Amino acid sequence: MPSLLEMRGIVRSFGALRANDGVDLDVQSGQILGLLGENGSGKSTLMKVLFGMLPPDSGTIVFRGHELSHHHPAEAMAAGIAMIHQHFMLIDAMTVVENVMLCWPQAGRVLKTADMAARVREASRRFGLDLDPDALVASLPLGRRQRVEILKAILREAELLILDEPTSNLAPTEIADLLTILRRLRAEGKGIIFISHKLPEVLELCDEVVVLRDGRVSGRAPVAGASRAQLAHMMVGRDLVRSHVPPHHALGAVRLSVKDLAAAGFGPLTLDVRGGEILGVAGVDGNGQIEFVEALAGLRPVGAGTIVIDRCDVAHASVAARMRAGMAYIPADRSATALVRRMSVAENLMLRDSNHSPYAKGPLLVRGPAVAKALELMAEYDIRASGPGTVVMRLSGGNQQKIVVARELDRAPAVLVAHQAAWGLDPGATRFVLDRMIALRAAGAAVVYVSSELEEVLEISDRIAVIANGRFAGETPRAEVDLRQIGIWMAGRAA
Amino acid sequence: MSNPASSLPAPASEQIRKPPRYNSFRLQLRDNLAWRILAAVVLSMLCAAALIALSGHNPLTAFAAMAVGAVGSPHQIGAALNRTTPYLLAGSGVAMCFRAGIINIGAEGQIAVGGIGATAVALIWPSALPELAIAASLLAAAATGAVWAGIATAIHLGRRVHEVLATLLLNFIALLLVKQMLVRPLGQFGAGFLQSPQLPAATRLWRIPEVDAHFGIVITVIIAAGLSFVLWRTRFGFALRVAGNSRPAAAYAGFSLPRLTWSVMLLAGAVAGLAGGIEVLGVHRRLIEGFSLGFGFKAVTVALLGALEPMAVIPASLFVGLLEAGSLSMQRQIGVPSALVVVIEGLTMLFVLAATVRRV
C-alpha cells in the first residue's frame, strides 16, 4: 500500500543556515507519527514546507499519490492536509458553527447554518468531541477550542492532520481527552503528525517517531520496543561539549537562596547559588522558565516562598529594590523588554540606572557624563555603533545584546539571572556573552543561566539543574553529567 | 543648545571618531520627520486650493485674504495669538501623554472644567486682594483640570477602562457640567443666554501692548518650553519616553507604570485646565456655554502636527491659530466659507498621520 504522505530529500535554507537538510518523512493512513526535536531542529520548517507556507529549495512531496509542489496552504487544505497550530486560528467572538463555516465553500453562499450545526453535532458525537455548535468560542476552555480546530479538519475531510505542540497549553485531563480523540481518528484511518517535546505523551500515543536534529533526521524508530532512554538519547544525543569554565575554584558564600518559590506556572522551586558559581538551568522551553525568571526579577508576583540575596529577602520587593540588593537580569525578550528599540544606545545603557549617577543628578538627567559613560561602555564591551546616539534597532542582534550585558554587568551585581542570553546570536557574539558570564563568576557573583540550549548550559555551568513542568526534575554537578539522564529529566520524568 | 563635548573627559581623537552630540538623544526628529510634516501641511494646502478653485474662486486670492486676515494688522496678530494659546497649552499636555503611550483625548473636558474653576474663584475672590486674583483663578483652573483628568485616570487604572474611553466620555459630562453651572450657581440671572456675570476687573489679564493679545500666550510658551525640558532632560521624562516605547521595558527598568500614568495625566489635565482658565479670563471675561468647543479635540491634531514635541507644538498651534483667525476675514472679503478651515485642518491631520506613521 502506498504511503499517505511521502516527503523526499526536503532542503530549505535561510541564508547560510540549512533548516532542513535532506529530510525524508513518511506517514501512513491510520498512523500517528511523532515528530521530535529540540528548538531549531527544523520541525516547524518541515511542516511549513509540507503545508505550503514555505517553498522548499529542493525535494518532493507526494500526498495520496499526487505530487504537491508550489502549493499554497489553501491547496494543501483542499488536498486533505490540515494543520492545527499551537495558537488556534479561531474567531473568539463567533460560535463554533460559525468558525467551522468560515472560509468553507460547502457552507454555502447563503450560510446553511442549521445544516452545518447538524453536521457539527454528528461529527462531535462520532469522535467524542463533545462540542455544542452554538457555543461561543470565547466561552470555551483551551482544550475545547483545540477540538474546534480538529472538528474543522474532520469536516473538511482532511486525511492528514498536523498538530504542532498540541498539548503545551492544556491541562492534564484535557491532554488525556485529546489523546483519546486522536486514537479515534487513527481508527478511522487518518494519518497524524504529532509534534511534541514531551516524551511520555509520544510514547503513549505514537506508532513511530522521527527525531530531527540540526535539520536532518537523526533517528527513526517504531515506538513499540523503544525505551524512553533511547528516545531521549536520539533527541538530545550529541558528543559531550567541552566545558569552558575554568576548573573548580574556591566558592564563596551563598549569595542567592531561593526557597519553595512558587507562582502561576512553576514551583515550588528551591535552589542555592554561591558566589563564583554558575548554575545552569536546562529544560525544554515552556516548562516554567519565563515565569520563574520573571518572578526572580520582580516582574511577576510571587505566590509563596523566599528569594534571599546576600541575606536580604526580596521576594516581594520592587524591581528597583531588587536592583539595589544586587540583582541583575538579562531577559530573553530582547526587543521589547531588555531594550527600547527606538531609543539610542546611550539611553538603553542607562535604562535601569537612570535614577543615579553618572546619569542623573537629583531629578535631572546629566547628559555629558552620560554620554561619556556610554562611550566608555561601548569601548569596554565592544558595542559597534556609529555613536551613542545610534538608534538601537539599527544594530545587529549581537551588538544589541552587548548593550544589555554591559548595562547589567557594569553594576557589579551580586546575582545575575540570565535567560536565553545567547538566543539568536552568531557564534562570535555567543562566545562573548558566555565569556562575560564566566568573568562575572570569577568576580564572585552568583549566576543563574537559564537556557533551552543544552549546549550553552553544558559549556558554562558549574552545576546543572533541569526544569520540567515548572519543577526541578534533577540536578547534577557539571563534572558528573550524564546526558542520557539529562534527556530523561528534560522529558518530564524525575529519576 | 550648548556643546557637551567640553564636558567630556574622553581624548580628542576619540571624539573625532565618535562625535557625541546632545541632539543624538533626540531621535524622534530623525528620518526627516520635520520635512515630512511640512510636506503634509503643503499637501493639505494644495488640496484646499483645489477645493477653492472648484468653488469658483481664485485660490491665491483666497489665501492672500486669509494671510491678511491673520497677520494684516497688529490687532489681527493679537487675535491669532489668542486663538493659538489654548491649542498650544492643551496640545503640549496631550503630547506628553502620547509620549508616555497614554492616549488622552480628554483635553476638551479638562479645558471646560478649568473654565468653571477659574470663573468660580474669580467671582468669589475677595476684592480686598485684587493683586492675587489672577493667580488664584488660574491655579483653580489648573487644579480643576487636573481633578478632571484624575477622575479619568482613576477609572482607567482602577477599573481597567481604556483611557480613550474614560477621557473621551468625561468630555461630554464636562460640557454638560458647564451648562449646569451656568444654570445654577454661576449663571447670570435674566441674561437670556447661558453665561456667567462678567468677571471683576481685577481678573483681567494683562495685555501685550500694540497687538492687544493677552499675556496668556507668554505663560503658554514658557510652559511648552518647560514641558519639553521635562521630557528630554529629567528622569521623569525619560521614564515617560521608555513607557511610551515599551511597557515591558518600563517595568523592567523599575518604573511604576501606574505612578507614571497618574503623573502625566494630572500634568496634562492641569495645563488643559489652565488653557480653559486663560480663555475665560483673557478672551470672554465670563464663562459662556460652549466656550471650549473643539479646542481640546483639535489639541490632539496639534500635538500630532508637532510630532509630540512640546517645542514643535508651538509652530503647530500657531499654524492652526493663524488659519482660524484668517479664515473669518477670508469669508468676509471674498466669500469663501470659513468652514474651509475645518477641511484644511482635517486634511492636515490625515496627511500628517500618513507622513508620520511608525514603521516597525
pLDDT, chain A, mean: 88
Q: What is the C-alpha to C-alpha distance for residues A353 and A375, in angstroms, rounded to an integer?
A: 16
Q: What would the grid cell of residue B336 be?
A: 469663501
User: Are B249 and A360 in contact (CB < 8 Å)?
Assistant: no
* DSSP label at residue B72: S
What pLDDT is recorded for position A235? Answer: 67
Inter-chain CB pairs, A–B, below 8 Å:
115
What pLDDT is recorded for position A204? Answer: 86
* A381 shares contact with chain B (CB less than 8 Å): no
Rounded to two decimals, the pTM is 0.78
> What is the least distance, in Å, from the CA of A451 to any CA of chain B?
20
3-state helix, strand, coil in chain A (%, to 5): 35, 25, 40
DSSP, residue by residue, A219-283: EEEESTT--HHHHHHHHH--PPPPP-SPSP----SEEEEEEEEEETTEEEEEEEEETTEEEEEE-
Tell me the chain A residues in contact with residue B241 when contact means C-beta distances shorter than 8 Å: 343
Find, among A473, A446, A443, the residue nearest to A461 by Cα. Answer: A446
In this prediction, residues A156-165 reach a mean pLDDT of: 91
Domain boundaries, chain B: 74-321
What pLDDT is recorded for position B29? Answer: 46
Q: What is the C-alpha to C-alpha distance for residues B258 and B323, in angstroms, rounded to an integer?
A: 38
Contact A303, A297 (CB under 8 A): no
Estimate to the nearest angstrom the gap between the alpha carbon of A439 and the chain centroid: 28
In this prediction, residues A361-386 reach a mean pLDDT of: 92
Burial B282-306 (b: 16+ CB within 10 A, else e): bbbbbbbbebbeebbebbbbbbbbb
Angle at B72 between CA B68 and CA B77, to 5 degrees: 115
Estimate to the nearest angstrom the gap between the alpha carbon of A247 and the chain centroid: 31
Domains of chain A: 5-236 (3.40.50.300), 254-490 (3.40.50.300)
Of A27-36, A315-324, A336-345, A453-462, the range with the lowest mean pLDDT is A453-462
| For chain A, percent of residues with pLDDT exceeding 90 | 53
> What is the least distance, in Å, from the CA of B10 to any CA of chain A?
7
pLDDT of A494 over the 80 cut: no
What pLDDT is recorded for position A241? Answer: 59
What pLDDT is recorded for position B358? Answer: 57
Find, among A81, A97, A63, the residue nearest to A153 by Cα. Answer: A81
Distance of CA B340 to CAs A67, A98, A155, B20, B306, Å?
63, 47, 58, 47, 22
Find, among A299, A361, A340, the residue nearest to B241 by Cα. Answer: A340
* A375 shares contact with chain B (CB less than 8 Å): yes
Q: What is the C-alpha to C-alpha distance for residues B221 and A214, in angstroms, rounded to an integer?
A: 62
User: Are A387 and B19 in contact (CB < 8 Å)?
Assistant: yes
Contact B89, B220 (CB under 8 A): yes
3-state helix, strand, coil in chain B (%, to 5): 75, 0, 25
What pLDDT is recorded for position B356? Answer: 75
> What is the least distance, in Å, from the CA of B360 to any CA of chain A?
10
Angle at B10 between CA B8 and CA B15, to 5 degrees: 90
Shortest CB distance from B248 goes to which of A337, A343, A364? A337
Q: What is the C-alpha to C-alpha distance for residues B297 and B300, in angstroms, rounded to an integer?
A: 6
Q: What would the grid cell of residue A237 be?
A: 544525543
Q: What would the grid cell of residue A288 be?
A: 516554567
Contact A217, A209 (CB under 8 A): no
What pLDDT is recorded for position B20? Answer: 37
Residues of chain B with pLDDT under 70: 1-31, 357-360
What pLDDT is recorded for position B261? Answer: 97
pLDDT of A176 over the 90 cut: no
Which are the contacts of B37, defined by CB distance < 8 A and separation ≥ 6? Answer: B305, B307, B352, B355, B356
DSSP, residue by residue, A308-322: EETTEE-TT--HHHH
User: Are A354 and B238 in contact (CB < 8 Å)?
Assistant: yes
Contact B306, B314 (CB under 8 A): yes
pLDDT, greater one: A460 or A484: A460
> What is the least distance, in Å, from the CA of A258 to any CA of chain B?
21
In this prediction, residues A467-481 reach a mean pLDDT of: 90
- Look at the alpha carbons of A307, A309, A310, A316 in this order and tell me if their dihedral is positive or negative: negative
Estimate to the nearest angstrom the gap between the alpha carbon of A195 and the chain centroid: 13
Select the residue from B25, B259, B263, B356 to test the A interface by mutation, using most A Cβ atoms within 10 A.
Answer: B25
Q: What would the grid cell of residue A265 be?
A: 506556572
Select the residue from B238, B263, B267 to test the A interface by mutation, using most A Cβ atoms within 10 A.
Answer: B238
**DSSP H or E run through B145:** helix B133-159
What pLDDT is recorded for position B78? Answer: 92
Tell me the chain B residues in contact with residue A371 when contact means C-beta distances shorter than 8 Å: 4, 8, 20, 24
What pLDDT is recorded for position B359? Answer: 44
pLDDT of A414 over the 50 cut: yes
* DSSP label at residue B131: G
Which are the contacts of A326, defined by CB distance < 8 A and separation ≥ 6? Answer: A255, A309, A310, A413, A414, A415
Please provide the distance, in angstroms rounded to a whole number, between the alpha carbons at the two ends of chain A.
Answer: 42
CA atoms within 13 A on the CB side of A276: 11
Q: What's the pLDDT tens digit per position in A241-272?
A: 566 677 667 788 999 999 999 998 898 999 99
Contact A352, B261 (CB under 8 A): no
What pLDDT is recorded for position A260? Answer: 96
Contact A378, B21 (CB under 8 A): no
In this prediction, residues A401-426 reach a mean pLDDT of: 92
Q: What is the C-alpha to C-alpha distance for residues A394 and A379, in angstroms, rounded to an integer?
A: 18
Angle in degrees, 0-180, between the axes of helices B74-99 and B235-245, rounded to the nearest 10? 70
User: Are A354 and B235 in contact (CB < 8 Å)?
Assistant: yes
> What is the least distance, in Å, from the CA of A378 to any CA of chain B?
11
User: Are A343 and B241 in contact (CB < 8 Å)?
Assistant: yes
Q: What phi and psi, each to the nearest 5 degrees, are found at residue A222?
A: -70, 145
In this prediction, residues A441-448 reach a mean pLDDT of: 94
**Cell 501685550 appears where?**
B208
In this prediction, residues A30-47 reach a mean pLDDT of: 85
> What is the least distance, in Å, from the CA of B238 to any CA of chain A?
8
What pLDDT is recorded for position A202? Answer: 84
User: Are B8 and A378 in contact (CB < 8 Å)?
Assistant: no
| Residues of chain B with a CB closer than 8 angstroms to some CB in chain A | 4, 6-10, 14, 18-25, 27, 30, 232-239, 241-242, 245-246, 248-249, 251-254, 256
User: Are A331 and B21 in contact (CB < 8 Å)?
Assistant: no
Residues B74-321, CATH architecture: Orthogonal Bundle (1.10)
Q: What SS3 class is residue A473?
A: strand
